[in-house]
A and B are shown apart, each in its own frame.
Chain A
Amino acid sequence: MAMHKITVTVNGTPHSAEVESRLLLVHFIRENLVMTGTHIGCDTSHCGACTVLLDGEPVKSCTVLAVQADGRQVMTVEGLEQNGTLDPIQEGFMQEHGLQCGYCTPGMMMTSYALLKRSKQPTEDDIRHAISGNLCRCTGYVNIVKAVQYAAAKQQ
Protein backbone atom coordinates (compact mmCIF):
# COMPACT_ATOMS: atom_id res chain seq x y z
CA MET A 1 0.00 0.00 0.00
CA ALA A 2 1.64 3.19 -1.14
CA MET A 3 1.37 6.09 1.27
CA HIS A 4 2.11 9.71 0.53
CA LYS A 5 2.48 12.74 2.73
CA ILE A 6 0.41 15.54 1.28
CA THR A 7 -0.52 19.09 2.21
CA VAL A 8 -3.69 20.51 0.72
CA THR A 9 -4.88 24.01 1.47
CA VAL A 10 -8.65 23.87 1.96
CA ASN A 11 -10.55 27.14 2.30
CA GLY A 12 -7.30 28.89 3.16
CA THR A 13 -6.11 26.44 5.83
CA PRO A 14 -3.29 23.98 5.05
CA HIS A 15 -4.04 20.38 6.02
CA SER A 16 -1.31 17.74 6.07
CA ALA A 17 -1.99 14.03 6.10
CA GLU A 18 -0.53 10.72 5.10
CA VAL A 19 -2.83 9.17 2.51
CA GLU A 20 -3.05 6.15 0.25
CA SER A 21 -2.37 6.72 -3.45
CA ARG A 22 -5.90 5.67 -4.29
CA LEU A 23 -7.66 7.98 -1.83
CA LEU A 24 -10.07 10.22 -3.74
CA LEU A 25 -10.13 13.94 -3.04
CA VAL A 26 -13.80 13.80 -2.04
CA HIS A 27 -13.03 11.20 0.63
CA PHE A 28 -10.05 13.23 1.86
CA ILE A 29 -12.37 16.22 2.29
CA ARG A 30 -15.28 14.35 3.84
CA GLU A 31 -13.50 11.71 5.92
CA ASN A 32 -10.04 13.01 6.76
CA LEU A 33 -11.12 16.63 7.22
CA VAL A 34 -14.71 15.83 8.28
CA MET A 35 -16.05 18.56 6.02
CA THR A 36 -19.26 16.98 4.81
CA GLY A 37 -20.67 19.89 2.82
CA THR A 38 -19.23 18.34 -0.34
CA HIS A 39 -21.55 15.51 -1.39
CA ILE A 40 -20.94 12.22 -3.15
CA GLY A 41 -23.64 11.59 -5.74
CA CYS A 42 -23.11 9.32 -8.71
CA ASP A 43 -19.42 8.68 -7.93
CA THR A 44 -18.77 8.44 -11.70
CA SER A 45 -18.04 12.11 -12.61
CA HIS A 46 -21.48 12.68 -14.10
CA CYS A 47 -23.63 14.41 -11.49
CA GLY A 48 -21.39 17.17 -10.09
CA ALA A 49 -22.59 16.91 -6.46
CA CYS A 50 -18.92 16.58 -5.42
CA THR A 51 -17.78 19.73 -7.27
CA VAL A 52 -15.10 21.74 -5.48
CA LEU A 53 -12.68 24.36 -6.79
CA LEU A 54 -9.10 23.19 -7.41
CA ASP A 55 -6.85 26.20 -7.91
CA GLY A 56 -10.01 28.18 -8.66
CA GLU A 57 -11.51 25.88 -11.31
CA PRO A 58 -14.47 23.59 -10.64
CA VAL A 59 -13.57 19.88 -10.64
CA LYS A 60 -15.45 16.72 -9.72
CA SER A 61 -13.66 15.64 -6.55
CA CYS A 62 -14.83 12.02 -6.90
CA THR A 63 -12.53 11.78 -9.93
CA VAL A 64 -9.41 13.47 -8.58
CA LEU A 65 -6.89 11.69 -6.37
CA ALA A 66 -6.05 13.39 -3.08
CA VAL A 67 -2.35 13.13 -4.05
CA GLN A 68 -3.09 15.13 -7.19
CA ALA A 69 -4.23 18.00 -4.95
CA ASP A 70 -0.96 18.00 -2.98
CA GLY A 71 0.36 21.55 -2.74
CA ARG A 72 -2.79 23.01 -4.30
CA GLN A 73 -5.68 25.18 -3.20
CA VAL A 74 -9.10 23.62 -2.70
CA MET A 75 -12.27 25.56 -1.99
CA THR A 76 -15.39 23.78 -0.75
CA VAL A 77 -18.90 24.97 0.01
CA GLU A 78 -17.79 25.62 3.61
CA GLY A 79 -15.48 28.31 2.25
CA LEU A 80 -18.24 30.44 0.75
CA GLU A 81 -19.45 32.09 3.95
CA GLN A 82 -17.06 34.76 5.25
CA ASN A 83 -17.22 35.93 8.89
CA GLY A 84 -20.86 35.00 9.27
CA THR A 85 -21.92 36.64 6.00
CA LEU A 86 -23.29 34.45 3.25
CA ASP A 87 -21.72 34.71 -0.19
CA PRO A 88 -24.11 36.29 -2.74
CA ILE A 89 -24.45 32.87 -4.40
CA GLN A 90 -25.68 31.34 -1.12
CA GLU A 91 -28.03 34.27 -0.61
CA GLY A 92 -29.30 33.79 -4.18
CA PHE A 93 -30.12 30.12 -3.62
CA MET A 94 -31.99 31.10 -0.45
CA GLN A 95 -33.88 34.06 -1.88
CA GLU A 96 -34.84 32.41 -5.17
CA HIS A 97 -35.61 28.98 -3.70
CA GLY A 98 -32.82 27.45 -5.79
CA LEU A 99 -32.99 24.13 -3.99
CA GLN A 100 -35.48 21.51 -2.89
CA CYS A 101 -33.76 18.41 -1.51
CA GLY A 102 -30.42 20.22 -1.40
CA TYR A 103 -28.27 17.33 -2.54
CA CYS A 104 -26.87 19.01 -5.66
CA THR A 105 -26.68 22.44 -4.02
CA PRO A 106 -23.04 22.49 -2.82
CA GLY A 107 -21.83 21.49 -6.29
CA MET A 108 -24.21 23.90 -8.00
CA MET A 109 -22.98 26.75 -5.83
CA MET A 110 -19.28 26.00 -6.37
CA THR A 111 -19.72 25.84 -10.15
CA SER A 112 -21.79 29.05 -10.14
CA TYR A 113 -19.31 30.79 -7.83
CA ALA A 114 -16.49 30.00 -10.29
CA LEU A 115 -18.64 31.23 -13.21
CA LEU A 116 -19.28 34.55 -11.48
CA LYS A 117 -15.55 34.99 -10.78
CA ARG A 118 -14.91 34.70 -14.51
CA SER A 119 -17.98 36.38 -15.93
CA LYS A 120 -19.63 39.30 -14.15
CA GLN A 121 -22.78 39.46 -16.27
CA PRO A 122 -23.51 35.96 -17.51
CA THR A 123 -26.52 35.44 -19.76
CA GLU A 124 -29.08 32.74 -18.98
CA ASP A 125 -27.35 30.67 -21.67
CA ASP A 126 -23.95 31.14 -20.01
CA ILE A 127 -25.39 29.99 -16.68
CA ARG A 128 -27.16 26.96 -18.14
CA HIS A 129 -24.01 26.02 -20.03
CA ALA A 130 -21.81 26.40 -16.93
CA ILE A 131 -24.04 24.16 -14.78
CA SER A 132 -24.61 21.56 -17.50
CA GLY A 133 -22.28 19.20 -15.61
CA ASN A 134 -24.30 19.53 -12.38
CA LEU A 135 -27.48 17.50 -12.25
CA CYS A 136 -30.54 18.50 -10.23
CA ARG A 137 -33.46 16.08 -10.11
CA CYS A 138 -35.86 18.34 -8.16
CA THR A 139 -36.05 21.89 -9.44
CA GLY A 140 -36.05 21.75 -13.21
CA TYR A 141 -33.19 24.29 -12.96
CA VAL A 142 -35.44 27.37 -13.31
CA ASN A 143 -34.88 28.63 -9.78
CA ILE A 144 -31.22 27.65 -9.85
CA VAL A 145 -30.71 29.91 -12.85
CA LYS A 146 -32.61 32.68 -10.99
CA ALA A 147 -30.39 32.15 -7.95
CA VAL A 148 -27.25 32.65 -10.02
CA GLN A 149 -28.79 35.71 -11.68
CA TYR A 150 -29.59 37.09 -8.22
CA ALA A 151 -25.96 36.65 -7.17
CA ALA A 152 -24.68 38.21 -10.41
CA ALA A 153 -26.92 41.27 -9.89
CA LYS A 154 -25.89 41.55 -6.26
CA GLN A 155 -22.21 41.57 -7.22
CA GLN A 156 -22.63 44.44 -9.67
Chain B
Amino acid sequence: MIPATFDYHAPSSLADAVALLDKLGDDAKVLAGGMSLLPMLKIRLAQVGHLVDIGRIPGLDYIKEEGGTLKIGAATKETALERSELIRTKYPILLDTAAVIADPIVRNRATAGGNLAHGDPANDHPATMLALGASVVARGPRGERTIPVDQFFKGLFTTALAANEILTEIRIPTPPARSGGAYVKLERKVGDFATAAAAAQLTLGANGAIEKAGIGLTNAGPVPIKAVEAEQYLVGKKPDDATLQEAGRLAAKAANPSVDRRGSVDYKREMARVLTVRALKAAVRRAGGQ
Protein backbone atom coordinates (compact mmCIF):
# COMPACT_ATOMS: atom_id res chain seq x y z
CA MET B 1 0.00 0.00 0.00
CA ILE B 2 1.34 3.36 -1.01
CA PRO B 3 0.37 6.68 0.56
CA ALA B 4 -1.15 9.43 -1.54
CA THR B 5 1.56 11.81 -2.64
CA PHE B 6 2.87 14.43 -0.21
CA ASP B 7 5.93 16.58 0.20
CA TYR B 8 8.51 15.72 2.84
CA HIS B 9 10.51 18.20 4.88
CA ALA B 10 13.31 17.39 7.29
CA PRO B 11 14.14 20.60 9.18
CA SER B 12 17.27 20.50 11.30
CA SER B 13 16.03 22.74 14.11
CA LEU B 14 12.87 23.14 16.13
CA ALA B 15 12.61 26.79 15.08
CA ASP B 16 12.69 25.80 11.39
CA ALA B 17 10.11 23.07 12.00
CA VAL B 18 7.73 25.45 13.74
CA ALA B 19 8.19 28.07 11.01
CA LEU B 20 7.37 25.43 8.37
CA LEU B 21 4.24 24.33 10.22
CA ASP B 22 3.20 27.95 10.64
CA LYS B 23 3.55 28.48 6.89
CA LEU B 24 1.90 25.21 5.79
CA GLY B 25 -1.02 25.32 8.23
CA ASP B 26 -3.57 22.50 8.29
CA ASP B 27 -2.08 20.83 5.22
CA ALA B 28 0.95 19.58 7.21
CA LYS B 29 1.46 16.87 9.83
CA VAL B 30 4.40 16.32 12.14
CA LEU B 31 6.18 13.02 11.53
CA ALA B 32 8.00 11.59 14.56
CA GLY B 33 8.52 7.80 14.63
CA GLY B 34 5.73 7.39 12.10
CA MET B 35 4.43 4.18 13.66
CA SER B 36 0.85 5.46 13.75
CA LEU B 37 0.91 8.14 11.05
CA LEU B 38 2.58 6.13 8.26
CA PRO B 39 0.12 3.18 8.50
CA MET B 40 -2.76 5.69 8.44
CA LEU B 41 -1.32 7.34 5.33
CA LYS B 42 -0.73 3.94 3.72
CA ILE B 43 -4.28 2.72 4.20
CA ARG B 44 -5.39 6.26 3.30
CA LEU B 45 -7.31 6.87 6.46
CA ALA B 46 -5.33 10.10 6.37
CA GLN B 47 -3.97 12.24 3.57
CA VAL B 48 -1.62 15.21 3.97
CA GLY B 49 0.05 17.71 1.69
CA HIS B 50 3.23 17.88 3.72
CA LEU B 51 5.07 15.83 6.32
CA VAL B 52 7.42 17.71 8.63
CA ASP B 53 9.86 15.11 9.98
CA ILE B 54 11.20 16.07 13.41
CA GLY B 55 13.36 12.94 13.48
CA ARG B 56 16.46 14.83 12.38
CA ILE B 57 16.22 17.59 14.96
CA PRO B 58 18.90 17.08 17.60
CA GLY B 59 18.13 17.40 21.30
CA LEU B 60 14.63 15.91 21.41
CA ASP B 61 15.73 12.52 22.72
CA TYR B 62 16.45 12.39 26.47
CA ILE B 63 15.25 11.00 29.79
CA LYS B 64 16.35 13.07 32.79
CA GLU B 65 15.30 14.25 36.24
CA GLU B 66 15.53 17.97 36.89
CA GLY B 67 14.19 19.94 39.84
CA GLY B 68 11.66 17.34 40.97
CA THR B 69 10.46 16.60 37.44
CA LEU B 70 11.10 13.70 35.07
CA LYS B 71 11.60 15.14 31.59
CA ILE B 72 11.23 12.97 28.51
CA GLY B 73 12.14 14.43 25.12
CA ALA B 74 9.29 14.01 22.64
CA ALA B 75 11.38 11.99 20.17
CA THR B 76 12.54 9.50 22.83
CA LYS B 77 11.98 6.00 21.50
CA GLU B 78 9.91 3.51 23.49
CA THR B 79 12.93 1.20 23.39
CA ALA B 80 14.97 3.87 25.20
CA LEU B 81 12.35 4.01 27.96
CA GLU B 82 12.48 0.22 28.24
CA ARG B 83 16.28 0.21 28.53
CA SER B 84 16.55 3.17 30.91
CA GLU B 85 17.86 2.35 34.38
CA LEU B 86 16.16 5.49 35.77
CA ILE B 87 12.77 4.39 34.39
CA ARG B 88 13.20 0.79 35.55
CA THR B 89 14.12 1.72 39.11
CA LYS B 90 12.08 4.88 39.77
CA TYR B 91 9.20 4.89 37.28
CA PRO B 92 8.20 1.24 36.76
CA ILE B 93 4.73 2.34 35.58
CA LEU B 94 6.45 3.82 32.50
CA LEU B 95 8.33 0.58 31.90
CA ASP B 96 5.04 -1.36 32.21
CA THR B 97 3.57 0.96 29.59
CA ALA B 98 6.44 1.16 27.09
CA ALA B 99 6.90 -2.62 27.17
CA VAL B 100 3.35 -3.35 25.94
CA ILE B 101 3.20 -0.80 23.12
CA ALA B 102 2.98 -2.57 19.74
CA ASP B 103 5.97 -4.95 19.45
CA PRO B 104 9.72 -4.63 20.11
CA ILE B 105 10.57 -3.74 16.49
CA VAL B 106 7.90 -1.04 16.28
CA ARG B 107 9.19 0.32 19.62
CA ASN B 108 12.57 0.97 17.98
CA ARG B 109 10.86 3.69 15.94
CA ALA B 110 7.82 4.67 18.03
CA THR B 111 8.24 7.77 20.20
CA ALA B 112 6.74 8.71 23.56
CA GLY B 113 5.75 12.15 22.25
CA GLY B 114 4.08 10.70 19.18
CA ASN B 115 2.11 8.28 21.33
CA LEU B 116 0.48 11.31 23.02
CA ALA B 117 0.34 13.77 20.11
CA HIS B 118 -1.44 11.24 17.88
CA GLY B 119 -4.49 11.63 20.15
CA ASP B 120 -5.56 8.01 19.84
CA PRO B 121 -7.45 6.77 22.93
CA ALA B 122 -6.15 3.26 22.12
CA ASN B 123 -2.55 4.37 22.68
CA ASP B 124 -1.00 3.35 25.98
CA HIS B 125 0.91 6.39 27.28
CA PRO B 126 -2.12 8.68 27.66
CA ALA B 127 -3.67 6.67 30.52
CA THR B 128 -0.32 6.44 32.30
CA MET B 129 0.33 10.16 31.89
CA LEU B 130 -3.16 10.94 33.24
CA ALA B 131 -2.45 8.76 36.28
CA LEU B 132 0.93 10.44 36.82
CA GLY B 133 -0.45 13.98 36.49
CA ALA B 134 1.95 14.73 33.63
CA SER B 135 2.02 17.76 31.38
CA VAL B 136 3.44 18.34 27.91
CA VAL B 137 5.42 21.24 26.51
CA ALA B 138 4.23 22.62 23.17
CA ARG B 139 6.46 24.87 21.08
CA GLY B 140 4.84 27.26 18.63
CA PRO B 141 5.77 30.45 16.76
CA ARG B 142 5.26 32.53 19.91
CA GLY B 143 7.30 30.29 22.18
CA GLU B 144 6.47 27.51 24.60
CA ARG B 145 3.43 26.67 26.67
CA THR B 146 2.77 23.85 29.09
CA ILE B 147 -0.44 21.84 28.80
CA PRO B 148 -1.58 19.50 31.59
CA VAL B 149 -2.30 16.08 30.08
CA ASP B 150 -5.82 16.12 31.55
CA GLN B 151 -6.55 19.08 29.26
CA PHE B 152 -4.66 17.71 26.25
CA PHE B 153 -7.05 15.19 24.67
CA LYS B 154 -9.97 16.92 22.95
CA GLY B 155 -11.48 14.14 20.82
CA LEU B 156 -10.61 11.18 18.62
CA PHE B 157 -7.21 12.03 17.06
CA THR B 158 -7.64 15.61 18.28
CA THR B 159 -5.45 17.28 20.89
CA ALA B 160 -4.92 20.76 22.31
CA LEU B 161 -1.96 21.24 19.95
CA ALA B 162 -2.45 23.93 17.30
CA ALA B 163 -1.45 23.13 13.71
CA ASN B 164 1.72 25.20 14.17
CA GLU B 165 2.76 23.64 17.49
CA ILE B 166 5.08 20.71 18.21
CA LEU B 167 5.01 18.63 21.36
CA THR B 168 8.63 18.81 22.56
CA GLU B 169 8.72 17.38 26.08
CA ILE B 170 6.75 15.32 28.58
CA ARG B 171 7.02 16.43 32.22
CA ILE B 172 6.15 14.12 35.08
CA PRO B 173 6.31 15.27 38.70
CA THR B 174 8.72 12.96 40.55
CA PRO B 175 6.46 11.06 42.96
CA PRO B 176 7.26 11.47 46.67
CA ALA B 177 8.37 8.58 48.91
CA ARG B 178 5.83 5.78 49.45
CA SER B 179 4.50 6.16 45.91
CA GLY B 180 3.93 3.44 43.34
CA GLY B 181 2.26 2.96 40.02
CA ALA B 182 1.47 0.27 37.49
CA TYR B 183 -0.03 -0.17 34.04
CA VAL B 184 -1.94 -3.34 33.24
CA LYS B 185 -3.13 -4.13 29.70
CA LEU B 186 -5.31 -6.86 28.27
CA GLU B 187 -4.48 -7.52 24.61
CA ARG B 188 -5.41 -10.38 22.30
CA LYS B 189 -1.86 -10.73 21.02
CA VAL B 190 1.46 -8.88 20.95
CA GLY B 191 1.05 -5.74 18.90
CA ASP B 192 -2.68 -5.33 19.36
CA PHE B 193 -4.39 -2.32 20.83
CA ALA B 194 -5.81 -2.81 24.31
CA THR B 195 -9.13 -4.57 24.78
CA ALA B 196 -8.89 -2.58 27.99
CA ALA B 197 -6.03 -1.25 30.10
CA ALA B 198 -5.63 0.71 33.31
CA ALA B 199 -2.92 2.88 34.83
CA ALA B 200 -2.84 3.58 38.56
CA GLN B 201 -0.49 5.81 40.55
CA LEU B 202 -0.77 6.08 44.35
CA THR B 203 1.00 7.88 47.17
CA LEU B 204 0.55 6.51 50.68
CA GLY B 205 0.72 8.61 53.85
CA ALA B 206 2.64 7.76 57.03
CA ASN B 207 -0.49 6.11 58.48
CA GLY B 208 -0.81 3.87 55.40
CA ALA B 209 -3.83 5.69 53.99
CA ILE B 210 -3.90 6.88 50.37
CA GLU B 211 -2.86 10.53 50.06
CA LYS B 212 -2.98 10.87 46.31
CA ALA B 213 -4.45 8.71 43.56
CA GLY B 214 -4.34 8.85 39.77
CA ILE B 215 -6.22 6.46 37.47
CA GLY B 216 -6.26 6.45 33.67
CA LEU B 217 -8.06 4.13 31.25
CA THR B 218 -7.00 3.13 27.72
CA ASN B 219 -9.41 2.47 24.85
CA ALA B 220 -12.41 3.07 27.08
CA GLY B 221 -13.98 5.91 25.10
CA PRO B 222 -13.35 8.47 22.34
CA VAL B 223 -10.60 10.05 24.47
CA PRO B 224 -8.29 8.61 27.15
CA ILE B 225 -10.24 8.60 30.40
CA LYS B 226 -9.21 9.96 33.79
CA ALA B 227 -11.33 8.14 36.37
CA VAL B 228 -11.83 11.17 38.62
CA GLU B 229 -14.59 9.75 40.82
CA ALA B 230 -12.52 6.66 41.62
CA GLU B 231 -9.46 8.82 42.34
CA GLN B 232 -11.40 11.04 44.76
CA TYR B 233 -12.98 8.04 46.46
CA LEU B 234 -9.56 6.56 47.27
CA VAL B 235 -8.07 9.63 48.96
CA GLY B 236 -7.93 9.27 52.75
CA LYS B 237 -8.79 5.55 52.70
CA LYS B 238 -6.65 2.53 53.60
CA PRO B 239 -5.90 0.52 50.45
CA ASP B 240 -7.70 -2.66 51.57
CA ASP B 241 -9.34 -5.05 49.13
CA ALA B 242 -12.88 -3.69 49.54
CA THR B 243 -11.68 -0.12 48.91
CA LEU B 244 -9.74 -1.06 45.78
CA GLN B 245 -12.70 -3.09 44.48
CA GLU B 246 -14.99 -0.10 44.94
CA ALA B 247 -12.49 2.14 43.12
CA GLY B 248 -12.49 -0.39 40.28
CA ARG B 249 -16.28 -0.23 40.14
CA LEU B 250 -16.19 3.59 40.01
CA ALA B 251 -13.49 3.57 37.31
CA ALA B 252 -15.59 1.18 35.19
CA LYS B 253 -18.50 3.60 35.55
CA ALA B 254 -16.33 6.27 33.92
CA ALA B 255 -15.53 3.96 31.01
CA ASN B 256 -17.52 4.46 27.84
CA PRO B 257 -16.11 1.82 25.47
CA SER B 258 -17.50 0.93 22.06
CA VAL B 259 -18.13 -2.52 20.63
CA ASP B 260 -15.61 -3.98 18.18
CA ARG B 261 -13.90 -7.30 17.47
CA ARG B 262 -12.15 -7.05 20.84
CA GLY B 263 -15.42 -7.37 22.73
CA SER B 264 -18.80 -6.02 23.70
CA VAL B 265 -19.38 -2.84 25.67
CA ASP B 266 -20.23 -4.80 28.84
CA TYR B 267 -17.17 -7.03 28.54
CA LYS B 268 -14.83 -4.08 28.02
CA ARG B 269 -16.31 -2.17 30.92
CA GLU B 270 -15.91 -5.23 33.14
CA MET B 271 -12.29 -5.61 31.98
CA ALA B 272 -11.69 -1.92 32.80
CA ARG B 273 -12.90 -2.69 36.33
CA VAL B 274 -10.76 -5.81 36.76
CA LEU B 275 -7.64 -4.18 35.32
CA THR B 276 -8.08 -1.06 37.46
CA VAL B 277 -8.16 -3.24 40.58
CA ARG B 278 -5.06 -5.13 39.42
CA ALA B 279 -3.21 -1.90 38.62
CA LEU B 280 -4.18 -0.47 42.02
CA LYS B 281 -2.98 -3.59 43.84
CA ALA B 282 0.36 -3.48 42.02
CA ALA B 283 0.63 0.26 42.76
CA VAL B 284 0.04 -0.38 46.48
CA ARG B 285 2.75 -3.09 46.49
CA ARG B 286 5.22 -0.82 44.74
CA ALA B 287 4.41 2.01 47.14
CA GLY B 288 5.49 -0.32 49.94
CA GLY B 289 1.97 -0.97 51.27
CA GLN B 290 0.37 -4.41 51.60
Contacts and interface: CB of A to CB of B under 8 A. Distances in A.
Indicate, yes or no, whether A interacts with B: yes
Contacts of A44: 1, 39, 42-43
B109 interface: yes
A45 B39 contact: yes
A42 to B, nearest CB: 10
B39 A63 contact: yes
A64 to B, nearest CB: 7
Interface residues of B, number: 29
Contact of B102 (A20, A27, A57, A133): A133
A2 B49 CA distance: 10
Interface size class of A (residues with CB under 8 A): 20 to 34
A150 B105 CA distance: 22
Interface stretch (B3-11, B178-186, B265-273): B3-11
B236 interface: no
A59 B190 CA distance: 16
A24 B6 CA distance: 13
Interface string B1-23: 11111111010000000000000
B8 A60 contact: no
Interface string A29-59: 0000000000000011110100100000111
Contacts of B38: 45, 63-65
A67 interface: yes
B2 to A, nearest CB: 6
A81 B53 CA distance: 34
B35 interface: yes
Contacts of B103: 48, 132-133
A111 B105 contact: yes
B2 A24 contact: yes
B8 A4 contact: yes
Nearest to B55: A68
A51 B108 CA distance: 12
A16 interface: no
B79 interface: yes
A22 B2 contact: yes
A22 B6 contact: yes
Interface of A: 1-2, 4, 20-22, 24, 27, 43-46, 48, 51, 57-60, 63-65, 67-68, 70, 111, 129-130, 132-134
Interface of B: 1-8, 10, 34-35, 38-39, 41-43, 51, 53, 55, 79, 102-106, 108-109, 190-191
17 contacts: A2-B6, A21-B51, A22-B4, A24-B2, A44-B42, A45-B39, A45-B102, A48-B103, A58-B105, A58-B108, A59-B108, A63-B38, A63-B42, A64-B38, A67-B10, A133-B104, A133-B191
